[in-house]
Amino acid sequence: MLTATSFSQLFLLSFWSILMRSCSSEATVQPPQTTELVLYSQDIFAGPNANDVPVVGIPGKAWSFTQFGTVFAADEPMTKTPDPSSAIIGRAQGMYLISALDGSSVEAVFSIVFSNQAYNGSTLEIQGTGKTLAKVVEYAVVGGTGKFRFARGYATLETIPVNATHAVNQFNVTVRHD
Ligand SMILES: *[C@@H]1O[C@H](CO)[C@@H](O)[C@H](O)[C@H]1NC(C)=O
Ligand SMILES: *[C@@H]1O[C@H](CO)[C@@H](O)[C@H](O)[C@H]1NC(C)=O
Ligand SMILES: *[C@@H]1O[C@H](CO)[C@@H](O)[C@H](O)[C@H]1NC(C)=O
């Protein structure tokens, strides 16, 4: 049976532990922030200024965007508007692998490396699968660095063809981070 003393000790103890818990949670837990970004990558896939280039593929097959096994290396400027001469926000640097045997899917693994004032030096890590010929694909944001530590989210990528060698991808990024 609880005596009056042990009851008050128990009460004090639990009051104390609640107090400690609420102090420590205030000190360490911050709600995640949500950031939404719209930016554009300038994808140039042929000519002297190509920035999205097949670097390896299955011997004897064409190294193309619809051939299984083709790997592209990409380093594309990311701009504020679709206009290639608009302000540079960063670069999309990484690779694409045609990942379906029938050529219908692409696996993307790349970083958005920011160089604008707001996020200079921070990165977002993008990964996922998309249909090679789809106008819109969605990739996961699987991590980040700098201002985007602990990032998780998603990015839609809509391809807007400009001409035979140049396409603009509109990236809509929604990301939760610390
Ligand atoms: C970004 O950081 C680099 C060095 O870390 C610096 O040279 C550059 O001026 C910075 N850019 C902006 C827009 O702040
Ligand atoms: C494609 O468009 C870019 C500008 O967006 C231009 O610099 C380039 O010359 C064009 N290429 C062709 C083949 O029309
Ligand atoms: C991306 O965002 C723009 C501007 O908010 C919007 O017009 C567009 O439909 C969005 N794209 C996708 C694929 O959701």
Give 156 Cα–ligand 3 centroid separation in angstroms: 8
The Cα–Cα gap between 27 and 84 comes to 45
Rounded to two decimals, the pTM is 0.84
CA distances from 24 to 30, 50, 149 (A): 11, 53, 21
Q: What angle do CA 51, 94, 48 make, to 5 degrees?
A: 10
Give tens-digit pLDDT for 35-46: 999 999 999 999
Q: Tell me, what's the pLDDT at 41?
A: 98
Alpha carbon of 172 to ligand 3 centroid (Å): 6
Alpha carbon 148 to chain centroid, angstroms: 10
Would you state the pLDDT for residue 30? 74
The Cα 35–Cα 24 span in angstroms is 27
CA of 163 to the centre of ligand 2 (A): 6
Tokens of 19: 């107090």
159, 135 in Cβ contact below 8 A? Answer: yes
Q: Enumerate residues 6+ apart whose C-beta is below 8 A from 114.
A: 89, 90, 120, 121, 122, 123, 124, 146
**pLDDT single digits (tens) 22-31:** 444 455 677 7
Q: What are the tokens at 152?
A: 């998780």
pLDDT digits (tens, 9 = 90+) for 100-131: 999 999 999 999 999 999 999 999 999 999 99
Average pLDDT over residues 40-53: 97
Report how far ligand 1's centroid is from the alpha carbon of 50 (Å): 26
Does the CB atom of residue 174 touch ligand 3 within 6 A? Answer: no
Higher pLDDT, 96 or 13: 96
Residue to mutate (ligand 3; options 37, 38, 81; most atoms within 8 A of CB): 38
H runs (alpha helix) in the chain: 4-28
pLDDT of residue 18: 46
Q: Rg for the chain (alpha carbons), in Å?
A: 24
> What pLDDT, on a 0 to 100 scale, did the predictor assign at position 4?
54
